[in-house]
Every structure is written in structure tokens, then in C-alpha cells.
């Protein structure tokens, strides 16, 4: 009667990487399938909103009002500079508007200037001055970009974490000299893809184009990784090249 086979124990690094990778993938799924569609719907609603009639509140329609610039200020932190206008309507209502950058309107107006402000859903969405238009920092049509980039990046990082967990559990001990090379190749591929995913929504005009760029990048990264790892697959374990590399690895250790 043979002895019972002991249960397989997985390395702690594999378990922690799998848990972290799964958490990142789930977070990416929420951003990509919940947050991004919601932001896109908001952008479409703003783009198709009609002008308000008379004194209709600016809920689902656009309302343009004449305002006076009361205050111009900038604030900053370690990450960015923020550009603010304080606008006052004739009836006494005031609006604090964070604009998208230093121009064109922000750099042209002075306190006391008259500007037109367009409101939608109770918030100033853009201002106009002498034929120039500038949107607020949280422009509805571009609101999808940050969650899309974050979601794609987290998806890449999470997939890399899951790959690392699988690699840790299934790596072959017959040729340990190749382990650092395989690990470096896999992690580098995941990092490159994640960086591409972050910037693709910024570099493109639509979400579909950003997804196409990221998908094409993923294919190219996968092909490059396969091409670089192919010679290692053909090299028999314990060959002269791998033995020499293993000796160098042990000497460094």
C-alpha cells in the first residue's frame, strides 16, 4: 500500500501575487465596464443637450448666462497647478470654476471682465470671452480618459501578477540558470504593456481607438517576448550555455 501523497504547498510569493493580481483585475473590470461607460454616457448627454428655454433650470439642458469675473487665482500642489475663476451672475449667484489650463480664456481675462458661462446639470461647463472658449477641468466628453487608462493599466499589472504566480508554481527546476531571464522577460513585458495602456487614452481621440492601440501593443509585446524566449525553448536543459550562465549566477550569489 503506497503512502498518501502529501498536499502540494505553494510558495507564499505565488499566493500573494495571485491575490494581488486578482484584486487588480477585478478593479480594472469595474473601471472598464462600469465607470467608463457611465462617463461616456455623461459625455454623450452633454454633447446632445439642447439650449434651455427661458428660465428653465440647467439640469439636462444648456443654459448660458452673462457673468462678471470677480477673482482669478491659481493653486498648486506637488502634482499640478489648478486655474480658478470666480464668476458672479447679475442676480447674485456665484460660481467657482476650475478651468482646464492657463489658456486661452484664463490668461486673457481680468477681474471685472464680462464672460459668458454655460451651465449644464447645475455646473459651469465652459466659459467664453471675446470669441475664445475654454472648458472646465472635468470636461464631460473627456471624463472617460482617466478611468480608461487606469483600468487598462491595472489590467496589465494584474495579469502580470497572475502570470508571476503561475510561473513561480510551475517553473522547471531542471535549468535554474534560465529563471532570471524568463522572469525579467515576463515582468518587463507586463510593465511595457501597462505603460502603453496608461497613455493610450491620452494620445487618442476616442475610447475605441485607445483600446485598439492597447490591443495592438499587447500583440506586439507578446510577439517580441515569444521571439526572445524561443532560443531558450530550443536549448536543452544543462547545455553548455545554460551551465555557464548558471555558474555565473552562483558566483554572483
Highest mean predicted confidence (pLDDT) among 2-16, 28-42, 220-234: 28-42
Tell me the mean pLDDT in the region 78-106: 92
User: What pLDDT, on a 0 to 100 scale, did the predictor assign at position 245?
Assistant: 47
pTM of the model: 0.74
pLDDT by residue (tens digit) across 48-70?
999 988 777 767 899 999 999 99
Arithmetic mean of pLDDT over the chain: 84
User: What pLDDT, on a 0 to 100 scale, did the predictor assign at position 85?
Assistant: 96
* Cα distance between residue 109 and residue 184, in whole Å: 53
Tell me the mean pLDDT in the region 126-154: 93
User: What pLDDT, on a 0 to 100 scale, did the predictor assign at position 252?
Assistant: 47
The residue among 12, 40, 9, 30 whose CA lies nearest residue 158 is: 30
pLDDT over 90, % of the chain: 55
Q: Is 105 exposed, middle or buried (0-12, 13-18, 19+ CB in 10 A)?
A: buried
Nearest-5° Cα angle at 49, 48 to 51? 135
Amino acid at each position: 500500500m503506497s503512502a498518501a501523497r502529501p498536499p502540494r504547498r505553494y510558495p507564499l510569493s505565488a499566493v500573494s501575487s495571485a491575490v494581488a493580481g486578482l484584486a487588480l483585475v477585478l478593479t480594472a473590470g469595474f473601471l472598464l465596464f462600469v465607470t467608463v461607460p457611465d462617463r461616456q454616457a455623461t459625455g454623450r448627454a452633454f454633447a446632445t443637450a439642447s439650449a434651455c428655454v427661458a428660465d428653465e433650470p440647467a439640469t439636462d439642458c444648456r443654459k448660458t448666462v452673462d457673468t462678471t469675473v470677480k477673482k482669478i487665482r491659481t493653486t498648486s500642489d506637488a502634482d499640478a497647478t489648478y486655474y480658478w475663476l470666480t464668476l458672479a451672475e447679475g442676480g447674485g449667484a456665484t460660481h467657482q470654476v476650475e478651468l482646464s489650463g492657463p489658456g486661452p480664456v484664463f490668461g486673457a481675462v481680468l477681474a471685472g471682465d464680462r464672460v459668458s458661462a454655460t451651465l449644464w446639470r447645475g455646473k459651469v461647463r465652459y466659459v467664453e470671452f471675446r470669441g475664445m472658449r475654454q472648458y472646465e477641468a472635468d470636461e464631460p466628453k473627456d471624463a472617460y480618459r482617466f478611468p480608461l487608462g487606469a483600468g487598462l493599466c491595472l489590467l496589465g499589472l494584474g495579469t502580470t501578477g497572475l502570470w508571476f504566480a503561475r510561473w513561480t508554481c510551475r517553473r522547471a527546476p531542471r535549468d535554474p540558470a534560465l529563471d532570471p531571464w524568463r522572469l525579467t522577460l515576463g515582468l518587463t513585458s507586463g510593465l511595457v504593456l501597462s505603460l502603453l495602456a496608461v497613455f493610450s487614452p491620452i494620445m487618442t481621440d476616442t475610447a475605441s481607438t485607445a483600446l485598439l492601440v492597447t490591443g495592438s501593443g499587447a500583440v506586439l509585446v507578446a510577439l517580441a517576448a515569444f521571439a526572445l524566449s524561443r532560443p531558450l525553448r530550443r536549448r536543452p536543459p544543462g547545455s553548455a550555455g545554460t551551465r555557464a550562465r548558471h555558474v555565473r549566477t552562483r558566483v554572483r550569489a
